[in-house]
Structure 1
Amino acid sequence: MKLLIVLAFVAVVAARPEDDYNRYENFDVDEVINNKRLFKAYVDCLQGVGKCTPEGHDLKESLPDGIQNSCGKCSEKLKVLVAKVIVAAQEQYPEDWEKINKQYNPVGEHDEKMKEFLKKYKP
């Protein structure tokens, strides 16, 4: 299994001080998941081909650390949200998932950690 936008979410929080990234616990992930245009905008931001919102910018900066550490700095609530986004990305936006995964996990070195993360936190 591979990584993606939720990794996008993993990113939003992972590299930030706890006080800073906990603010994303109430982020409306359903709005992003259920809006193809909005989802695509986040993908474009992460790939460096589109403009980033402040949240997208935070995500882009935090994603590498979040992937590497399996959202280690995230609260339990945020880990569930991240898992929700990852699963939705894999199921609803597989082509976008592949693009992001190839960019942030090119040789698949974090695949096993992602499987374990999803097994534990998938809603």
Structure 2
Amino acid sequence: MQLALILGFVAIVVAVAPDDNFTRYKHINFEDVVANKQLLKPYVDCFIGTGPCTVEGNEIKEKIAQTVQESCGRCSEKQKTLVSKMMNAMKAEFPEEWTKMDKIYNPDGKFDEPVKEFMGKYGH
């Protein structure tokens, strides 16, 4: 369940969709966000509703459920890799928040298996 939550966040943050204008997020260095807890935490707080959201954070938050349900199916290959990196970082650095996100975006655990498969393929 927790993987699904992170997948949603990352897919949204990183991948509005390959057919969307991903360039609007090019000012965000996702590698830096993943590597720095202080940069990652505001996104996490936004997604679970305990902190304010930036414009980008709100856009991403609105797409988390869809991304979880589709296992990042609309993401490009690069976006899938970035999503998996962000998922791993969120799970490792903020396990309590990860659990909260999972309850919000995948409450019945229905997407656990597809997310596991996604992480097995892209979580390298």
Which residue in the other structure is 2:62 paired with? 61
2:5 alignment partner, SS class: coil
Higher alpha-carbon deviation: 31-40 or 103-112: 31-40
Q: In structure 2, what is the Cα distance between the partners aligned to 1:24 and 1:111? A: 28
**Given that residues 11 and 64 in structure 1 are in contact (C-alpha distance below 8 angstroms), is that contact kept between their aligned partners in structure 2?**
no
Amino acid at match of 1:7: G
In percent, how many aligned pairs have the same letter?
A: 44
Written as runs of structure 1 = structure 2, the 5 A alignment for 1:16-55 is 16=17, 18-21=19-22, 24=25, 27-55=28-56
8 Å Cα contact 1:11-1:67 kept in structure 2:
no
Count of residues paired in the alignment = 122
Q: Which has the higher mean CA deviation after the structures are superposed, 32-41 or 102-111?
A: 32-41
Alignment partner, residue 74 of structure 1: 75
When normalised by structure 2's length, the TM-score is 0.83
What CA RMSD, in Å, does the superposition of the two structures yield over aligned residues? 2.2
Instruction: Report if aligned partners of 1:47, 1:103 keep a CA contact under 8 Å in 2.
Output: yes
Cα 1:82–1:26, aligned 2, differ >3 Å: closer, same or farther? farther
Provide the rounded CA distance (Å) in 1 between the counterparts of 2:85 and 2:114.
16
Question: Against the structure 1 CA distance between its residues 89 and 79, is the aligned structure 2 distance closer, same or farther, given a 3 Å change threshold?
Answer: same
* SS, match of residue 51 in structure 2: coil
**Which residue identity lines up with residue 109 of structure 1 in the other structure?**
K
Q: Which runs of 4+ in 1 moved over 6 A?
A: none
Structure 1: runs of 5 or more not aligned: none
- TM-score, length-scaled by structure 1: 0.84
Structure 2 CA distance for partners of 1:7 and 1:70, relative to 1, 3 Å:
same
